[in-house]
Amino acid sequence: MPDVLVLVDHDGERVHKSTYELLAAARRLGDPAAVVVGTPGTAARLKESLARHGATSVYVAESDEAGEFLATPAVDVLELAVRDACPAAVLVSATTDGREVAGRLAVRLDAGLLIDAVDLDSSGVVTQIVFGGAYTVRSEVTHGTPVIALRPGAVEPEEHPVAAMVRELVVPSVDPATSARITDRRASPAGDRPALTEAAVVVSGGRGVGGAEGFTVVEELADALGGAVGASRAAVDAGYYPHRFQVGQTGKTVSPQLYIALGISGAIQHLAGMQTSRTIVAVNKDAEAPVFGLADYGVVGDLFAVAPQLTEEVTARRAAP
């Protein structure tokens, strides 16, 4: 079977969950081949977990420059890997960085590009959410090697242990004049909650939370469920919660097993970032709020009355023998 290249999303020490999802999707088209772009020693730390999730090959492209520039090293390496392997497709995660890499790679390869895919079948036909979530379409690349950006959370990761063969690639020298160099790094405050795009449960608050202090009820419910905290654009713009937690068309796209919207009216901008969640629960005072048109379960009521009761019930059930 042909290789399917998967760009590994990692932090240098661990593989992000979205990569395991890509490997599961890649198996529908051929043999998953993980492409690791990083500083020296990165691939050795990641190889075992990649093989455990089905990577039959691991392309290793390591250099000091790989951690100094945005997007360019990954695009360069993927272009080399495509020329070397003639893969059935290239899969990347539809994150901000992933979309950048996918677009640039497709231009270099003169190939078709499919962004924000939420499903992929064995024939290469992709299901996409387009126009801010207004339509669901099925698309297929008819020219060149398909470059597909898959939305995090769209495919269930699964372990599929194999023996991975290592293949070395030389990272081309980056031209600083045409590339964006990383001049500084600032770590976000660490916490015990899962990453927003990788969480199985997301609890988000909107304008209805009323202020930064109101997000306490959102955080308490998220913690009771072992989930992540999100926020609508309205809440972020009002200064209730940091921008890095924004869910929506101009924020992060999530597809958890459970999404709980507290005090979120349901503007299309927000719905575009969470509508592929498996189960959606909405709590809002306004019975006519657009979010109820998408929700699987809706509660018309005060979130400050409903959310604490739900938190208490979840906590009690988890504590029960």
> Which residue ranges are tagged as binding site?
207, 232-233, 246-250, 263-270, 284
For residue 58 the two structure tokens come to 């691991």
Tokens of 285: 């005072």
In the block, tokens 């958890």 appear at: 256
Q: Which residues contact 232 (CB under 8 A, 6 or more apart)?
A: 204, 205, 206, 207, 246, 247, 248, 264, 267, 270
CA atoms of 18 and 24, how far apart (whole Å): 10
- Cα separation of 281 and 142, whole Å? 39
SS3 of 196-244: the string is CCCCCEEEEECHHHCCHHHHHHHHHHHHHHCCEEEECHHHHHCCCCCHH
Residue type, 88: A
Residues annotated as binding site for FAD? 207, 232-233, 246-250, 263-270, 284
